Each structure stands twice: as C-alpha cells, then as structure tokens.
Amino acid sequence: MLKLNLDNANLDLSAYADQLPQYRDQLLNRSQGWLDLPETAPTSQILTYAESVKGQFEHLVVLGIGGSALGVNALFKALKHYYWNNLSSDQRQGYPQLHVLDNIDPAVINDIQDVIDPAKTLFIVITKSGSTPETISQYLYFRKLAPKENFVFITDPKKGLLRQIATEQGIPTFDIPENVGGRFSVLTPVGLLPAALLGIDITNLLKGAGEIRDNFLSQEFATNPAYQLAALQYELNTKHNININVLMPYSSPLFTIADWYRQLLAESIGKDGVGITPINALGVTDQHSQIQLYNEGPKDKLIMLIKTLKNSETDNQHVINAEGLPDFAYLNGVTFKKLLDTELTATTQALTKYKTANIQIQIPEISPHTIGQLFMLFELATGLLGELFQIDAFNQPGVELGKVLTKEKLGG
C-alpha cells in the first residue's frame, strides 16, 4: 500500500485532523464523478472492445491535448516497457506501438506519417467538449488518410461535434462522464481504453484507486494520505510562503506521472490570485541540474520524492564491477537499484540539512494497482486543496479565454 512520510516537513498538522470531515464533505458535495470511477468505469465495455480489435493494428495514435493526453502518456510509460515502441511485434505480443499527438506542431504531424501506416493504425480521438480545435483539426486531417473503421471516439455522452459524427457514421464511441473534467479523466475511457489496448490491467488499476478513495472516506487523519498531503501543501503555502511544489520520482517510468500532475495542480489551484506552481523532476537526473537551486536557492519549494521499493523484477541482476579500480571500490558489487536508493537517501538528507521542505511518497512497486493509487492520491489531494483555499478546483476560466480568442482570430 502507498505510504506518505511527512517527517522531514517538520510541521504539526494536528489542527487539520478535526477539520477533515468538513473538507471531505465539501468535496463530496461537489458531486465529482471521478470519485466513483473505481465502481462506475465501463471496464467490461472497454475490455470487450479491446479484445475485438486485438491484433488488427500495428499502431495506436491518440489525438488529444492536455488531460486527454497526459494521463495516457503516464500510464504508457509507467506500465509498459520503457522502450516499447522499439520492440518487435513479437516482443510486444501483438500489441500496437503507441504515439500520442498532444500538439499541432506541423513537424510532428509530418514526422508521424514516416513511422505509421494509417491503414494499419487505430486513431483514438479524445475531446470532452467534442470541439477542442487542436484535436478536431488532427481528426479532420487524419480521417482523409484512413477509413472510418480505424477511428474510435472518446467524448461527451450527449453533445459536441464528435458525438454528432459518431452517430452519423457509426463510429465506436466511449463516454467521458459529464461530471468528470479533463484533468481528472485518466481513470475514465480517456486513460483506460488506450491502456487496455496495450494490455495493461485496468481492473487492478481501478482497484488501487478505490483503496485510496476508501481511505479518504474514513474519519482518521492518520490513515488519510490524501488529506494529509493537502493539509501539508496548504500549510506550507499560506504560513511559510512555499508556493512551488516539485514532484520528483526516483524512477524513470514515473516521470510522466509528474508531468500529468503539473496540469492537475496548476489548472485546479491556480486561480483567484492564489496558486502553487508545479515542477516535474527526475531522480537521479535532476540531482545534477536542479538540486543546487533547491538547496541553496529561495526556500519557496516543497520537494515531493517518490520512492519505489521494487523498481522491477531485475533489481538485483545488474551488478557494477569495479575490480582493479581502487578509486571506485565503493561501487564494486553494488547493484544499480542499491545505488539509486542510496542516492535518494542522500538527497533526502541533504535537503533536510539545508532546511528544504521535503516529503517521501513510497510505493511497494510499479504496477497497475500502485499507479491507480498514485492517480487517486493526487486527484483527492488536489480537490481537497481547493476546498482549503476556498476555490473551485474544477473550473479553468484562465484557459477558456485563449480558446475563445483563437477561434475568433480564425474567423470562427
């Protein structure tokens, strides 16, 4: 089970314990559908569709942006081979390569056509509104290159252009619940369908999310990591002027979860003159590019380290051989896993010595179950943080203006 270690934050959060029921109930009263996804996600429908198209496509291309892409990338990198697209079809057991087109850069649109055959590609078009201009423009382009049988839509249950096209052309379509916003949609078909098409165990993904959600529903502060995290972030921001949060997993496959979390925190909390700036970092890589700033720069950052107790089945198979090199004798016989964990421990101690606020999130391993727990932890903490700040964590007026102006400038 996921664990949260707040010892190095050096804060007394006991005052928040009595307030837990208040903020929990305020969040529940917002009727957010992502809280119910462990039970309500259309798992059977998704698995049936995934099985029906298995082996038919060499490539899977996701057309989406923001919340319609970041969660897919996070699942893909965390739960599939790190170099998945470089494996042969046999090594991938017939599952497709994945490409996420999360931008409209012409260079990317051009280059993707060098690596896919549209006739052998399944395109997943994801837009909650059904009218996101970037995603719709991608769809309108690629529909000229592939038959309609090569498309599946994920969109609003009732309205929008994609829903209209799906009805007229009989294109398979999965629903994003009306009460689930894009950045909270990773456990809807937005993330679940691509995951299932890649052979990821979405049942255990949802089970892990459900366990953290159930902990949140409890009355105990000590067993409520989501509320603990929200209380910590709020206390540091409002009482200690710490307005930057760095999510730093010590596992390369988890780096895209930090990328996903940037949108979740930024769009949810950055409004009404308040906010916390999220930064994604990677251990040990960013020990050599960021830790100098975190330790000796302004004390305006919370460093959230993610430790994986078991990174992979091969943790103990890769042993460093430094025989005959006295200067590196300390590395001889050490596994890369031990070296990674030692550097995490050293970084934690250094941060603490420099009085840089830091916490550690521990997961036993990287699996669908634990990734589901991480997603729900961060979604709950962010929702609760909105309640603590007394803002609506589920709107994004600062984003909408740019969309309106883009449409106006193009004559829409």
Question: Which of the residues are catalytic?
Answer: 267, 288, 403
Q: Please give the span between the terminal C-alpha atoms of the chain, in angstroms, as a whole number.
A: 50
Nearest to 357 by CA among 3, 11, 43, 4: 11
Quick check: bond before 246 cis, omega within 30?
no
Where does 113-218 have alpha helices with state H? 133-142, 161-169, 189-197, 202-217
Is there a contact between 232 and 9 (Cβ–Cβ < 8 Å)? yes
Backbone angles phi, psi at 398, to 5 degrees: -70, -20
Nearest to 143 by CA among 167, 119, 111, 175: 119
In the block, tokens 């993610």 appear at 306
Degrees to nearest 5, angle at CA 295 with 294 and 298: 65
DSSP letters spanning 122-185? EEEEE-SSS--HHHHHHHHHHTTTS-GGGEEEEE-SS-SHHHHHHHHHT--EEEPPTT--GGG-
Backbone angles phi, psi at 250, to 5 degrees: -95, 60
Q: Are strands 358-365 and 3-5 parallel, antiparallel or unpaired?
A: antiparallel
* SS3 call for 120: helix
Report the C-alpha gap between 97 and 48 in whole angstroms: 20
Backbone angles phi, psi at 125, to 5 degrees: -100, 120
3-state helix, strand, coil in the chain (%, to 5): 55, 15, 35
Q: Which two tokens stand for residue 361?
A: 């999130």
Report the C-alpha gap between 345 and 356 in whole angstroms: 14
